[in-house]
Structures are given as structure tokens and as C-alpha cells.
Structure 1
Amino acid sequence: MAKSGRRLVSGFLAAAFFTAASPAAIAQTVQAPQAVVQQQAQPSTGVKKSVDVPAMTEWRQDFHKHPETAFGEARTAEKIDSLLRSWGLETHTNVGKTGVVGILKGPNAGPNSPSICLRADIDALPITEASATLPYKSETPGKMHACGHDGHTAMLLGAAKYLAETKNFTGTVYFIFQPAEEAGNGAQAMIDDGLFKWVHCDGIYGMHAWPSLPAGSIGVAEGNITSNTDGFRITITGKGGHAAYPADNIDVIQLAADIVTELHKYKDKEIPTEEGAVLAVTTVHGGEAFNAMPETVSLAGTVRTFSGASQDKLEKAVKDISAKLSAAYGAKVEVQYDRLAASVYNSHDQTANARAAAADVVGEGNVVVFPRTMAGEDFSAFTKYAPGAYVALGQNAGGPKTQLHNPNFNFNDATLETGASYWVDLVERQLPLVKPAADAPKTTPPGNQP
């Protein structure tokens, strides 16, 4: 069971995705976002692996049909564990409550052999699927795989199956199936359960489906890929009463509106535009009757930044502006501010490894720039323990793009082969199997000729 005391308050969702390194690395100057020019994949010169595409498709659609949200992925975890064990992997379950880790050792693997960690997130979102015709649409009301984690899970399983059958590598591969990415604390829950006390890897790698990139491409970039992701909740308590006598009340609705306005003013004035920071108030709850001023109002929202300085400024602003305006109104205020996921930082060597594997699979022309995103990803928690790289798997096959977290989103099964092949190539590149040299032919020493 997870021992994490940092559970995300209901309603805060850290959108899904990538890696952070050390605080020093994160504090580096953030580069400006780079535009992705390529609109469709180029003819591929890469080579796919003989991964089991029909099986991956079946698994992916089964996961899609039976979505489970943060820390409730019991059926998903059981299926993952069963498949891994059927291929001969050592498995560890209930890591971070519902996480699963599979361990596969290559020929002659020893305590000093190289190792690698591959991670996939397994949770769904609390979203009602819009499709009425999809044959494998969600059977769980109010839940669906709207972020591609069903595909992530299927591809990592496909890679595990292939590597277990071929064992064309040396050392150890750790397959990490992480729960609760969308809640922003699943990675930390696994860590709190002691993951890195028995998992020791030279590098950790992740992947995410990316609808804005063409199918057949893989996005790679070094440095900060995702934003620091924070969530806040502001609860204001005033004095309710009849709306006909506002002077007798403390107008928490107006106070809430003033707080929202001042927060946006502060962000626009104090945070440089080129940093691309986001402060968004996303929920407002208060009042029940049209003729009664409410006693309380609650606001919730998110802050997204790339620099630590901007993150510090905006956290302080949320607290200070809320306190100052509430005091002016004579109201009480409580502010909860949570730093949910650090910016994902792709380390230099691991990014180079990822780029080389991607080029092997899709060809150099289809390895594109991973566009920096304001989405958040708790994969960054893992990279405090091992350097990592996170890549984007193109999904778009032409036509309108259905973005992540949309009730119509559906992972593109045609890309399963690419994703699983990338995992396999990455392992075989980083953990190459060194075959023993053939015995030299025996010769008769000189002077001993018959």
C-alpha cells in the first residue's frame, strides 16, 4: 500500500504527460517553444519489430472498454500482472496501491549488468465517453480512456512479450505500469512504497500519445518538455442573507470575481510573456437561490509554469491576493495550494538514446521536435532517481484532430506497432546482447605433423 501523504484534492487533474531531473537542471533557462512544421509523416526508412499487433489491439480495446480511474485500476492491474507472468516475468503488484512492475532479465544478467526502466501509465479519466457507435466504448458510466493510457499500457505489454520471447538483450528491463497519473501523484505513491529500493536503472523512459503529431512520427526534444503543474482551491466565507439587502451581507460572489480579476492582472503584469505561464480559475461554486446571497463560495484552478521563479511568484500571489481582498471585504478565506508535478526534463544522454531508437523505427525524417506543452506529467517524480527521456508518439492520420481529454478521443491502434517497436529498439540498443566469441579452430602445433 502507498504511504504517500500527498493525495490530490478531488477536482484537481494534472493533465497527462513527461520528465524532470534535479532542481538545478529544472532551474536552467527555459528555451522558447519550437513549432512543429511537419503536417504528415514522411515515407519511413525505419524498421519495425515483429511485435504482436493483433494481441496489442485486443488488449488496448479491452482496457478502453473497462476504464478505471486513479488508484482504482484493480482489473487493469490484474490483467497486466497475469500477462507478464504468462511470459515468465517476475512481477510485483500493489506498488503504489495499484501499480505493477515486471522484471525481465536477459542472458547472463548479473548484479553489475546494465538496466533500463520503461514506464506506462494505466489510469483513465472521469469523463463520459461521447461515442455511441464505438464497439468497445466504455462500459463504465462517467469514466473513459480519453488520454491514451490504454494504448500506452498495450504497447508496453507488447514490448514485454516480444523481449521475453527473443531475449536479444543483456541486463535487466523493468516494466513500470503506473497508476493515477491523472491525479498527479501515482508516481510518488510507487516511490513511497519503496520502488527505487529494489529497482535500479541506468535510465528511465516514457511515452505519450500525441494527437497533434502525424501517425508514423515520434517527437523528441531535450530539456523541459512539460510545465510545473500546480492546483489551488480558495474557499471564501462571508455573511449570507437576502439579496434585497446587500448592505447587511458580505458579498462573496463579488469578492470571488475580484480575486479572479486581480490574479489575472498580476500574472499578465509580473510574469514575462515569453515564459508562457498559465493561471486559470476553472471552477466556481456558490449560491443556491436567485434571491439569497450565499455564505460561502469556492474557487479552484491551476497554475502552469516552466521556471521555478514564476512558480514561486504565482503561488504567493494566489495566497496574498486572496487574503488581502478578503480582509478588505471582512470575509474569511482559506487557500490550499498544491505543487502536483514538476516539469518533465529530458536529460541529454537519454534524449540522444531516445532519438536514435526513434530513427531506427520511423526513419530520421519522421523524428520531429516534441512541442513543449503546458500539460503536466508526474513522470518527473521518477527522474529524481534516474535520468530520463519522454517522447511523443504521433497519432493523427489526417483530418480533424481530437485532442486529449476530449470525450471523443480514441487511441490510434495503427500506431501500436510503432510504439512497441520503439520500446524494443531502445532496450536492444541500450542493453546489447554480447554473444561469446566462437572457439578458434584447433590447429596442430608445428613439428607435430604426421
Structure 2
Amino acid sequence: MPTIDRIDGYADELTAIRRDLHAHPEIGFEEVRTSGIVADKLKGWGIEVHRGLGGTGVIGVIKGKGSSGKRIGLRADMDALPMEENTNLKWSSKIPGRFHGCGHDGHTTMLLGTARYLAETRNFDGTVHLIFQPAEEGLGGARAMIKDGLFEKFPCDELYGLHNAPDLNHGEIAILPGPAMASADFFDLRITGYGAHGAMPERSKDAVIIATTLAQAIQTIVSRNVEPLQAAVVSITQIHAGSAYNVIPGDAHLCGTIRTFSKEVRTLVSERIRTICAGIAAAYQCAIDVDIRDTFNVLVNQVEQSKVVEEVARTVVDPAKVITRTQPKMGSEDFADMLETIPGAYFWVGHDGSVPVHNPGFVLDDKILPIGASMFARIIETRMPVV
């Protein structure tokens, strides 16, 4: 089963766009260059463009043939990660501490490929809203766009998004109806103890000892408080303390994330973190400030739109490579917030390479750009056919 010939013809240009975006990554709400390129490309293809939603967001509007009032949204994220790249590619990041380590440069490029195709053919009856979203990586870009009136200004009856997937094989497309990705909370735990000379620990309230005790205690929440058949993850991802070999630090800062599928489990984990922090603070005679933030909701794919993705995928790739997943992913995605407002589906496109996203050696396979673009385009033509 083929990708769309016309989109295949864009492959070299799409690859050039993607590699340029990759070489100039911008993190959340700083996607000034990226959004400018997106807006210029859309305008060049005769597409109506709106800028500024959610800060650096871009919306493209394409009207098809006929008089249908149906409206479908297609969404791609644009932001990079605040991390170093270690790929040694010719088009690797030119900006220290910035890396498209999740493939959002590819998602943006795929939607640009779809945009060009739909603008040239207009072989659909209705309106397409192309949503180029900033700040997906935990900074609330989806919520920012919604707050700025995204769906009031650009109403959608359905909504679709995608993500590259190095855990799948090239050409495989996966969809999971129902709850598909976990909710996410981010937390900061700030310990205020009492510093002292490294040779005089008895005079300190050692923030390093307190931090390591706290990190270990938090790991008991999932194993000893959450029911074994409920999914939950609590990860400490950062510990900051100290500045010298002979100084016991008085302050420490722990950061991390909570992933769940149940509101009850989500509440339980947060409450246990607060209780553990209070207990350790009392035991070590220190202060522990707790900040837990609701970052992403559970991503729920609607059954109808999931079937659409599955059926369309069979026309874009080998039907044997279309996978209906049964196990949700503990990763999170702020497209969930858009799907709480508009019914839709989020799917995965597999590609060559086994290095996971968010790894400094992650490499996106450019051969999937026409596949993702064709998926979006065929969804539009299937759901809004010209009669």
C-alpha cells in the first residue's frame, strides 16, 4: 500500500526542512525561528496563517472544495529538549544544551508536508486547521493555546496527532483506543537543613543525607502503597546539592515525575509524597518544601477516531504493519489536554533505529516523513470526502 505519490515527491525538500530545524532547536515558548519558518512555508503555499496563540503557536487554515461545515484539526509539536546531542550528524544541533531529542522537528515537518499537499489538491470538503504547537515538553503549550482560545477561534469536530516511534519497526503504525498514555505530575522538593564543615558533621543537618533518605523513601510508594494491579511510576530525576569537597551542604533540591492512569492513584501518590516529606523533615529537624504540579492529563483516544487511524493506516503502509496496541504507555503527552476538549486520536509511526527518544544519541529516520504526512492527508480526505 502506497504513501501519496505527490508527497513522496516532496521527500527531499521535507528532509532538508527537517534537518534545518534539527540544527537550530528551540525549547518551549522560544520557538521563534521555528514558528517563523512554519508561517513562511504556509504562506508560500497560499495558506491562511495565524500566529501568537500560546505565545509561539502557528495555525494554518485550509478550505477544501464544497460547502461542508466540518472542521478537522491536525496537530504537530515544535519544541526541542534542554539537553545535549551526541549523534555527530552533519546536521546535529548548533546550539549547546538544545537538542531535538524527541523528534518534534520531524512532526513539524510531516505536518508541513501535509499542508502543502492539501493546499495544492484541496481534495476534501470542509476546513482543516493545522495546529503547530509550542512547548509540549512539560511546559504546558497545549494548555496555553487552549487558554488563548484555540478551539473558539478555530473550532474542530475531530483532532489528530502523531509521534515517531523508534520502538516500532520502520513502516509500522500503532494506535491504542481508550486510555493510551499516562497523566504526569512534576515535583520539586526543596530541603533546608544546616550546613557545616565536612569534618564536623555533628554540627550539621546534612541535606545530602536527608535527600538520599527522601529519595529512597519515595520509591516505596509504588511498591508499598499502590495496588499491584494499578499502574504508577514515581521517578526522582534530579538531585542538586553541595559545592565543595569539605562543605556539608545545608540545602538540597530533588526533582521528579509521577505517572498514573487513575485519579485516585494520582492523588494517593501526591499525598504520600507530602506525608513522607513531613515525616522526614520532623525526623531530621529540617524543612522540606513540596511543590507538585499537574502537568499532563491521561491521553484518551476515542474509539471512532482510533478506527479511522487504523483504516487509513492500511492504505498508507502494509496492512500487516498496522498494530492495535493493548498496553498503554507510561509516557505522557500534552495533546491529552486537547483531546479532553475535542474527540480525536493520537498514533505512532515506527522508524529505523533503536535509540529511544530523550537519549542524547537519538536519531530520527527521515524516511518516515512522507508516511506521517500521508497519514494526516488521507485522514482528511477520508473524513471529509468530496461528494
- If the length of structure 2 is used for normalisation, what is the TM-score? 0.96
Amino acid at match of 2:373: A
**3-state DSSP class of the match of 2:181?**
coil
Task: For CA contacts below 8 A with separation 6 or more, give which structure has more relative contact order.
Answer: 1
Asked if 1:407 is matched to 2:360, the reply is yes
Q: Pick from 103, 108, 119 the counterpart of residue 164 of structure 1.
A: 119
**Hey, what does 1:93 align to over in structure 2?**
51
Distance in 1 between residues matched to 2:218 and 2:94, nearest whole Å: 41
**Hey, what does 2:267 align to over in structure 1?**
312
Asked if 1:140 is matched to 2:95, the reply is yes
Deviation at 1:260, TM superposition (A): 1.5
Distance in 1 between residues matched to 2:106 and 2:45, nearest whole Å: 20
Asked if 1:53 is matched to 2:6, the reply is no
Distance in 1 between residues matched to 2:373 and 2:66, nearest whole Å: 24
Q: Pick from 54, 77, 81 the counterpart of residue 125 of structure 1.
A: 81
Write out aligned runs for 1:216-231 (5 A). Answer: 216-231=171-186
Distance in 2 between residues matched to 1:214 and 1:69, nearest whole Å: 28
**Hey, what does 1:360 align to over in structure 2?**
315
Q: Pick from 409, 417, 436 the counterpart of residue 370 of structure 2.
A: 417
For the 8 Å contact 1:109–1:172, the answer to whether it is kept is no
Amino acid at match of 2:53: V
**3-state DSSP class of the match of 1:334?**
strand
**Hey, what does 1:323 align to over in structure 2?**
278
For the 8 Å contact 2:66–2:386, the answer to whether it is kept is no
Amino acid at match of 1:208: H
Deviation at 1:384, TM superposition (A): 2.0
Distance in 1 between residues matched to 2:5 and 2:342, nearest whole Å: 27
Deviation at 1:360, TM superposition (A): 1.3
For the 8 Å contact 1:184–1:378, the answer to whether it is kept is no
Deviation at 1:273, TM superposition (A): 3.1
State, as a whole percentage, how many aligned pairs show the same letter: 38
**Hey, what does 2:345 align to over in structure 1?**
389
For the 8 Å contact 1:262–1:321, the answer to whether it is kept is yes
Distance in 1 between residues matched to 2:199 and 2:265, nearest whole Å: 43
Q: Pick from 98, 104, 112 the counterpart of residue 149 of structure 1.
A: 104
**Hey, what does 2:137 align to over in structure 1?**
182
Asked if 1:206 is matched to 2:161, the reply is yes
Asked if 1:68 is matched to 2:23, the reply is no
**3-state DSSP class of the match of 1:136?**
coil
Q: Pick from 368, 378, 381 the counterpart of residue 428 of structure 1.
A: 381
For the 8 Å contact 1:184–1:341, the answer to whether it is kept is no
For the 8 Å contact 1:203–1:386, the answer to whether it is kept is yes
**3-state DSSP class of the match of 2:240?**
strand
For the 8 Å contact 1:49–1:424, the answer to whether it is kept is no
Distance in 2 between residues matched to 1:282 and 1:427, nearest whole Å: 40
For the 8 Å contact 1:184–1:377, the answer to whether it is kept is no
Distance in 1 between residues matched to 2:122 and 2:56, nearest whole Å: 28
For the 8 Å contact 2:3–2:371, the answer to whether it is kept is no
For the 8 Å contact 2:74–2:161, the answer to whether it is kept is yes
Larger Rg: 1
Instruction: Note the alpha carbon deviations across 1:84-127, whole angstroms, 9 max, x for none.
Output: 111111111111110100000112345xx111000000111112
Amino acid at match of 1:337: I
Amino acid at match of 1:423: F
**Hey, what does 1:347 align to over in structure 2?**
302
Amino acid at match of 2:146: I
Distance in 2 between residues matched to 1:106 and 1:309, nearest whole Å: 45
For the 8 Å contact 2:3–2:370, the answer to whether it is kept is no
Distance in 2 between residues matched to 1:188 and 1:49, nearest whole Å: 36
For the 8 Å contact 2:87–2:362, the answer to whether it is kept is no
**3-state DSSP class of the match of 1:275?**
coil
For the 8 Å contact 1:66–1:138, the answer to whether it is kept is yes
